[in-house]
């Protein structure tokens, strides 16, 4: 039996098609004529159809590919009056007649399948990219998932890079759902890669339309059954029609009847169309090494094949966080002097803080800090050495750097990074040098802890609260330690604390850097012993603190005779590090912790 198909083509639709495929519009249907020899195709534009409404044969099926909703309504009414099957390739509107069917999935059924996918993977949050024509999905998804998704409307004219930089980056790394035009989806994915937002734990779920020219490994596609491999609007249209006609011609006795098609339309064609279009079943497709693999059914949702996610991860992705790179000066190397007798690997503060940020939910909810270690000088700054060292790990500097606590290294770091053309937004540090906080000279410096002068003041307040009234103090003649000592004395006077060792025997010269040199100043250490102080505060370099304790031992003190407090609390771990370079070995009989 011969069917007539009238393809309704508007000029606007023709122009769009020419732009996409550079083919004549009728080529969509040429393959149908080749596939079904008993199909005759006649092309009409809308104006022609209006003139011949009452001349249309009863054995006609109207395929309306116009994008004009008003024409859909008009032809839908015509189809109802003439009892002619009317097929459109646009979103179905409830105002159409019962003779009108859409090649597009019915919205409610598509949403139900989408929800099945999201719930199966426990994806309850993410960023949804929508085109304007798909904006209706926002309301439906929001009702189901309590507004846990972020929605961004994008169009072909939208600058995707700006959308990613301004709107998406601040949200962090999520699961991404793309229901847009195909060219926009590919642009979105490339910009997510560009900004490092697309991680191995990120997931991408595409609508069929948004997946046309996307071949991103690990992406998931929610596709209509039979449409899993379509790569263009034209292919999707042809495949939908082929699926429909295959069912028509397969209908029992359909080709054997001699009756007019109109007499069996209700019994056969309508039931076929209702079965074909209204069921709207979907498959979940996974892009694996360039191939589209069907991995499950969205209705029963039984995953029957292995899934690959971005970066070939075989794990089901969970909502993840955007990685922010930071770097930490953490090592023992100096440019010209021997390595420090202790290393910054014992500085656990930065790592503890980073761990708390990454595991907590109340600081930077959508981001995660990833630290890199830099061993570019601990206590000594050399411009060439530091420049070469930072150059080797340029890509790992990140957006924030924690330098050594030594003032020359902190300021040297701030001088080195501009030479590398690295516009780092923040250099954090603990150094006490007030010049570092001058915004005119070092605009990027920000202190991440209180300066040590403040620490000295708080030290006295803590001791006073604990009931200590008497103590001895030793400090090294160096700008930082001298400033701390002066603040210490000033605060002690306010709280009526007594410093028992005489003032002129409290300072260890700045050039004393080992045990042997300290032996020339034995009277300073002996003064503490003679004062009968039970508590000693040491404000000096860690090396000399340890050498001083060793000298106390050699002068006769033993465990329990003296409680030693370091005003530089970060250094307390260094006592467990083996030392060389003339320093005596640490005597572990010392009790370094305060007693109340």
Give DSSP secondary structure letters for 172-239.
Answer: -S--EEEES-HHHHHHHHHHHHHTT---TT--EEEETGGGTT---TT-EEEEETT-TT--SHHHHHHH
Buried/exposed 486-518: b ≥16 CB within 10 Å, e otherwise: ebbbebbeeeebebbbeeebbbbeeebbbbeeb
The residues, any chain, with a CB within 8 Å of residue 246's CB and separated by 6 or more, are none
Encoding tokens for residue 394? 């340029």
pLDDT score, position 319: 45
pLDDT score, position 37: 43
Task: Please answer whether residues 348 and 573 qualify as being in contact, where contact means their C-beta atoms are separated by less than 8 angstroms.
Answer: yes
- Please name each of the domains of the chain with its CATH number: 3-102+232-277 (3.40.50), 107-225+283-312 (3.40.50.2300), 322-447 (3.40.50.2300), 452-576 (3.40.50.2300)
**Strand runs labelled E in 228-383:** 282-288, 291-297, 322-329, 367-374
- What is the number of residues in the chain? 596
Task: Please answer whether residues 467 and 596 qualify as being in contact, where contact means their C-beta atoms are separated by less than 8 angstroms.
Answer: yes
Q: CA nearest 288: which of 269, 314, 266, 270? A: 314
pLDDT score, position 174: 63
Task: Please answer whether residues 211 and 219 qualify as being in contact, where contact means their C-beta atoms are separated by less than 8 angstroms.
Answer: yes
Q: Which residue has the tokens 């082929």?
A: 242
pLDDT score, position 272: 66
Task: Please answer whether residues 157 and 350 qualify as being in contact, where contact means their C-beta atoms are separated by less than 8 angstroms.
Answer: no
pLDDT score, position 18: 20
Q: Which of 342-346's residues contact partners 24+ apart within 8 Å by CB, and which partners? A: 342/542, 342/543, 342/571, 342/573, 342/574, 342/577, 342/579, 343/378, 343/577, 344/378, 344/404, 346/570, 346/573, 346/574, 346/577
Encoding tokens for residue 474? 């030793």
Helix axes 383-392, 407-419, angle to 10 degrees: 60
Average pLDDT across each block of 10 residues of the chain; the chain has 596 residues. List them in order: 42 25 46 51 59 65 72 78 76 72 75 79 79 79 75 79 74 68 77 69 76 81 81 76 69 47 53 63 83 76 66 49 79 71 56 75 72 79 88 85 77 84 74 67 71 74 85 87 86 90 92 84 92 88 79 82 70 49 39 36
């Amino acid at each position: 039996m011969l069917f007539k198909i009238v393809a309704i083509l508007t000029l606007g639709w023709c122009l769009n098609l020419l732009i996409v495929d550079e083919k004549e519009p009728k080529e969509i249907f040429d393959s149908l004529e080749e596939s079904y020899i008993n199909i005759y195709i006649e092309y009409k534009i809308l104006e022609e159809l209006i003139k011949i409404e009452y001349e249309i044969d009863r054995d006609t099926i109207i395929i309306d590919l116009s994008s004009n909703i008003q024409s859909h309504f008009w032809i839908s009414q015509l189809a109802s009056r003439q009892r002619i099957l009317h097929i459109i390739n646009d979103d179905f509107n409830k105002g159409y007649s019962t003779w009108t069917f859409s090649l597009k999935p019915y919205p409610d059924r598509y949403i139900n399948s989408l929800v099945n996918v999201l719930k199966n993977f426990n994806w309850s949050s993410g960023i949804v990219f929508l085109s304007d024509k798909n904006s209706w999905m926002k309301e439906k998804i929001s009702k189901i998932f309590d507004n846990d998704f972020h929605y961004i409307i994008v169009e072909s004219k939208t600058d995707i890079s700006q959308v990613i930089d301004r709107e998406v980056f601040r949200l962090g790394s999520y699961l991404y759902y793309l229901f847009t035009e195909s060219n926009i989806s590919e642009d979105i994915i490339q910009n997510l890669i560009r900004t490092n937002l697309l991680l191995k734990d990120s997931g991408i779920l595409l609508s069929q339309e948004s997946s046309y020219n996307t071949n991103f490994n690990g992406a998931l596609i929610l596709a209509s059954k039979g449409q899993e491999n379509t790569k263009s609007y034209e292919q999707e249209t042809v495949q939908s029609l082929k699926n429909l006609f295959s069912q028509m011609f397969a209908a029992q006795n359909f080709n054997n009847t001699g009756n007019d098609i109109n007499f069996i339309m209700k019994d056969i064609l309508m039931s076929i169309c209702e079965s074909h279009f209204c069921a709207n079943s979907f498959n979940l497709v996974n892009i694996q090494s360039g191939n589209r693999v069907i991995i499950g059914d969205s209705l029963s949702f039984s995953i029957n094949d292995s899934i690959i996610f971005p970066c070939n991860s075989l794990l089901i992705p969970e909502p993840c966080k955007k990685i922010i790179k930071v770097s930490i000066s953490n090592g023992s190397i100096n440019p010209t002097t021997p390595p420090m007798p202790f290393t910054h690997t014992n500085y656990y503060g930065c790592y503890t803080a980073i761990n708390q940020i990454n595991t907590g939910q109340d600081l930077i909810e959508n981001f995660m800090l990833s630290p890199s270690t830099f061993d570019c000088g601990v206590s000594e700054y050399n411009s060439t050495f530091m420049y070469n060292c930072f150059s080797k790990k340029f890509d790992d500097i990140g957006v924030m750097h924690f330098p050594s606590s030594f003032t020359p290294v902190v300021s040297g770091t701030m001088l080195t990074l501009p030479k590398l053309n690295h516009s780092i937004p923040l250099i954090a540090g603990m150094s006490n040098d007030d010049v570092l906080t001058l915004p005119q000279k070092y605009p990027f410096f920000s202190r991440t802890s209180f300066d040590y002068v403040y620490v000295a003041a708080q030290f006295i307040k803590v001791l006073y609260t604990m009931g200590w009234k008497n103590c001895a103090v030793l400090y090294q003649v160096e700008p930082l330690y001298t400033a701390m000592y002066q603040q210490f004395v000033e605060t002690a006077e306010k709280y009526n604390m007594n410093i028992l060792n005489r003032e002129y025997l409290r300072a260890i010269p700045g050039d004393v850097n080992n045990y042997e040199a300290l032996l020339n100043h034995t009277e300073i250490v002996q003064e503490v012993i003679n004062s009968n102080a039970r508590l000693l505060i040491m404000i000096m370099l860690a090396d000399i603190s340890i050498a001083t304790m060793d000298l106390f031992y050699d002068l006769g003190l033993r465990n329990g005779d003296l409680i030693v407090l370091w005003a530089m609390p970060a250094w307390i771990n260094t006592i467990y590090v083996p030392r060389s370079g003339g320093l005596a070995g640490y005597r572990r009989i010392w009790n370094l912790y305060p007693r109340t």
